[in-house]
Amino acid sequence: MVLFRGDIKCKSLQRRTSISVILPADNIHFLQDTEEIVPQPYKTLYLLHGLYGSDDIFLANTSIQKFAEDNGIAIVIPCGENSFYVDNPKAHAYYGEYVGQELLDITRNIFPLSDKREDTFIAGFSMGGYGALRNGLKYYENFSKIGMISSALITDDIVSYTDDSNVLRSRDFYESIFGNLDEIEGSENDPKHLIETCPDIPDIYMACGIDDFLFRKNADFYLYLKENDVPATFVGDEGEHTWDFADKYVKEFMKTLITD
């Protein structure tokens, strides 16, 4: 297994930014004197962190590194700041363009990653779950599966937020990310609009803890998908908005990538 952590320069953000990359290479078991060779190029999961996170937070709080090694899949984790992985033209911070296209181009040029749609996946936790859906749909030609874990599907709600003393309920905070909140509906930041306009929707996997404050939003979105005949799987399990839940269900999503 190879773990790379470093900086890349990207046009979408007009600066350098950090990434973590897990590669299932050099899988050597010294005590058993065995070595497993994973064929290249690798299937690849682009994994998006949540609010207040960074590219190393999955490494610190989950066991996905070992899981990727054991199951022969590469994982690329970008640093998304608190961007919700959308494009912010005023700040020239095109995080959607970055994770949807440029990050794929950069990492495929550096690492032995497959460039096939059927081998390329996007997933995320919390804010990253929204980002995975938004960019998995907008850049549907690049991704065959979307994984949404405890997703922050809150774009219908933030327009009514007024409590500027709490950043999570602050209209000013969300306007700094999304722009005019009254214009989200029907835009490329509106999940339902993206579903309705996407010509080839990737398979969608959703999981959320039944005690998670986001459970109702996730369950309602799954019902919307089913009503519109969108291929989707939803798991509601015991749990809250925690790393234990994220660890379990990122790996459950990854199992679907390995078996296909």
Please state whether beta strands 87-88 and 203-209 pair in parallel, antiparallel, or not at all (unpaired). unpaired
Structure confidence by residue, pLDDT tens digits, 167-212: 888 999 999 999 999 999 999 999 999 999 999 999 999 999 999 9
pTM: 0.95
Instruction: Scan for tokens 């999981």, then name that residue.
Output: 207
pLDDT for residue 33: 57
Residue 258: per-residue pLDDT: 87
- Mark the ranges of the chain whose per-residue pLDDT is less than 70: 26-36, 260
Which tokens in the block code for residue 133? 């859906």
Q: What is the pLDDT of residue 37?
A: 76
Question: How many CA within 13 A on the CB side of residue 191?
Answer: 26
Residue 12's DSSP bridge partners are: none
The dihedral formed by the CA atoms of 18, 188, 204 and 159, expressed in degrees to the nearest 10: 90
**Using an 8 Å Cβ cutoff, are 38 and 57 in contact?**
no
Q: Provide the CATH number for the domain formed by 2-259 in this structure.
A: 3.40.50.1820
Dist. CA 21–CA 78, nearest whole Å: 9
Domain boundaries, the chain: 2-259
- pLDDT for the residue numbered 34: 56
